[in-house]
Amino acid sequence: DAKTTQPPSMDCAEGRAANLPCNHSTISGNEYVYWYRQIHSQGPQYIIHGLKNNETNEMASLIITEDRKSSTLILPHATLRDTAVYYCIAYLYNNNDMRFGAGTRLTVKP
């Protein structure tokens, strides 16, 4: 399985874009990049996923580099409620085995 590496923590000002990086230099061609977040004391919440192309939904945007060795999750206008641990995961579809790493603790400050 490809491993991902993320910075342990980041800060972001409220209302600004939060850009969370993820390195997955050993990802295989058929592994997707998934992002989840976990707000304190709650179960993780799915955010977005992608394979090669950039993706956007109502929560965030996912930018994957052309060589697929890294990606960035973008929260366009961070709010205090976006304070959470964000997990980047390389996932093989027919494995159904989602493994979470340490993630990035994002703190949005007023």
In the shown chain, the binding pattern of residues 40 to 59 toward other proteins, with x for contact by CB under 8 A and - for none, equals --xxxxx--x----------
Nearest to other proteins of 81, 93 (CB atom): 93
Nearest to other proteins of 7, 44 (CB atom): 44
- With CB under 8 A as the contact rule, the residue among 10, 72, 101, 107 that binds other proteins is 101
Sheet containing 84-92, strands listed edge to edge, beginning at the edge strand earlier in sequence: 9-13, 104-109, 84-92, 31-38, 45-50
Per CB under 8 A, the segment of 12-20, 37-45, 59-67, 72-80 that binds other proteins is 37-45
Nearest to other proteins of 38, 61 (CB atom): 38
Whether the Cβ atoms of residue 21 and residue 6 lie closer than 8 Å to each other: yes
Classified as helix, coil or strand, 22 is strand
> Using CA atoms, how far apart are residues 37 and 13, in angstroms rounded to an integer?
18
- With CB under 8 A as the contact rule, the residue among 8, 40, 67, 93 that binds other proteins is 93
For residue 33, list its beta bridge partners: 50, 90
Nearest residue to 85 (alpha-carbon basis) of 5, 9, 3: 9
Nearest to other proteins of 28, 46 (CB atom): 46
Binding of other proteins by 102 (CB under 8 A): yes
